[in-house]
């Protein structure tokens, strides 16, 4: 899958050379191309922002260099389709369902704003807007990195073990169950007996119940959107009677 990033700080994306994503790049499972709108600025100072119409403090990113960067990427791709996403705190909250949808694309183009704001007409160049959460960053880059990482790890061959993407938190709308490894007792805290029982059915039931309990305690709103079985209802009743 190809990720294209329009950013004033391409160096920030060098972190994608590290770890599993670096391996995925080397193996050709993902490709990351960055382009800076500054390259398409019209003056010798490579200016990409200007004062806001109507006055006020701060500068606003100009639409021209962003539009030129988008056109340049379209040409480089030979007109093949892409899906363009603008990173902004005004976008829809990014979630695992976005990552799943994006992971089916050939190409995803991420547009990062910076500073106090961007010209409203930049919005008309994109297909959707996504936010990393209800807080304000200095720009869209950290959000774009999160989108790339969450999307890329769903691609075949990026994670060593494909099962780990199926089991983890949010994969089925619930938070993941607690995990343990050795030692059996650590600073007085023991691993739950059932996990050492070798009884696979009992382990699966315990994990599902703890996944439901954790979601109920920490993110109850997720339970409303999750697909719950009859057995899940039984487990939830058990949890309710325990507390
Ligand atoms: N740019 C600035 N803040 C952001 C946020 N919370 N999400 C995405 N892009 C942003």
Do residue 129 and residue 32 come from a single domain? Answer: yes
> Using an 8 Å Cβ cutoff, are 33 and 3 in contact?
yes
Residue 213 lies in a domain: yes
Q: Name the more confident of 146 and 157.
A: 146
- Domain identity same for 128 and 211: no
Q: Is residue 94 part of a domain?
A: yes
**How many structural domains are present in the chain?**
2
Distance 114 CA to ligand 1 centre (A): 9
> Of 164 and 234, which is predicted with more confidence?
234
112 lies in the same domain as 27? yes
| Interval 141-168 mean pLDDT | 88
Best residue among 12, 142, 146, 150 to mutate for probing ligand 1's pocket (most ligand atoms within 8 Å of CB) is 142
Tell which of 104, 134, 162 closes a domain: 162
For ligand 1, say whether the CB of 92 is within 6 Å of any of its atoms. no
String of DSSP letters for 97-152: HHHHHHTT-SEEEEEE-BTT-B-GGGGGG-SEEEESSSS--SBSHHHHHHHHHHHH
Last residue of a domain, one of 162, 197, 231: 162
**Domain annotation covers residue 167:** no
Q: Is residue 165 scored above 80 in pLDDT?
A: no
Looking at the structure, tell me whether residues 189 and 148 fall in a common domain: no
Ligand 1: distance of its center to the CA of 146 in Å? 11
pLDDT in tens, 29-61: 999 999 999 999 999 999 999 999 999 999 999
Q: Are residues 99 and 120 in the same domain?
A: yes
Give the mean pLDDT of the chain.
Answer: 96
Three-state secondary structure call for residue 86? strand
Region 119-124 average pLDDT: 97
- The pLDDT of residue 76: 97
Condensed to tens digits (0 to 9), the pLDDT of residues 90-101 reads 999 999 999 999
Rounded to the nearest angstrom, the distance between the alpha carbon of 143 and the centre of ligand 1 is 6
Q: Is residue 161 over pLDDT 80?
A: no
Res. 142: pLDDT tops 90: yes
Q: Which of 127, 162, 197 is the C-terminal boundary of a domain?
A: 162
Query: Does the C-beta of 133 come closer than 6 Å to ligand 1?
Result: yes
Share of residues in the chain with pLDDT > 90 (%) = 91
Tell me the pairing of strands 107-112 and 83-93: parallel
Name the residue range of residue 58's domain: 2-162
pLDDT at 87 over 80: yes
CATH of residue 80's domain is: 3.40.1280.10
89 lines ligand 1 (CB under 6 A): yes
CATH classification of the domain holding 214:
1.10.1270.20
Residues 196, 156: one domain? no
Bridge partners (DSSP) of residue 138 are none
């Amino acid at each position: 899958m190809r990720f294209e990033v329009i950013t004033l700080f391409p160096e920030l994306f060098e972190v994608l050379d590290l770890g599993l994503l670096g391996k995925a790049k080397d193996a050709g499972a993902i490709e990351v191309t960055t382009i800076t709108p500054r390259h398409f600025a019209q003056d010798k100072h490579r200016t990409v922002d200007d004062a806001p119409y109507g006055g006020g403090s701060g500068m606003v990113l100009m639409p021209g260099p962003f539009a030129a960067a988008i056109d340049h990427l379209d040409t480089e791709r030979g007109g093949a389709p892409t899906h363009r996403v603008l990173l902004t705190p005004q976008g829809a909250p990014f979630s695992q369902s976005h990552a799943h949808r994006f992971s089916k694309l050939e190409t995803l183009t991420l547009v990062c704003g910076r500073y106090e704001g961007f010209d409203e007409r930049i919005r008309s160049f994109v297909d959707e807007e996504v936010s990393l959460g209800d807080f304000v960053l200095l720009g869209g880059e950290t959000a774009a990195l999160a989108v790339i990482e969450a999307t890329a790890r769903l691609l075949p061959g990026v994670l060593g073990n494909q099962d780990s993407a199926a089991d983890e938190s949010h994969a089925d709308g619930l938070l993941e169950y607690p995990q343990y490894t050795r030692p059996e007792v650590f600073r007085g805290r023991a691993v739950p007996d059932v996990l050492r029982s070798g009884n696979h059915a009992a382990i699966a039931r315990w994990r599902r119940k703890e996944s439901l309990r954790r979601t109920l305690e920490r993110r109850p709103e997720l339970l409303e959107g999750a697909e719950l079985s009859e057995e899940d209802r039984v487990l939830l009743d058990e949890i309710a009677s325990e507390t």
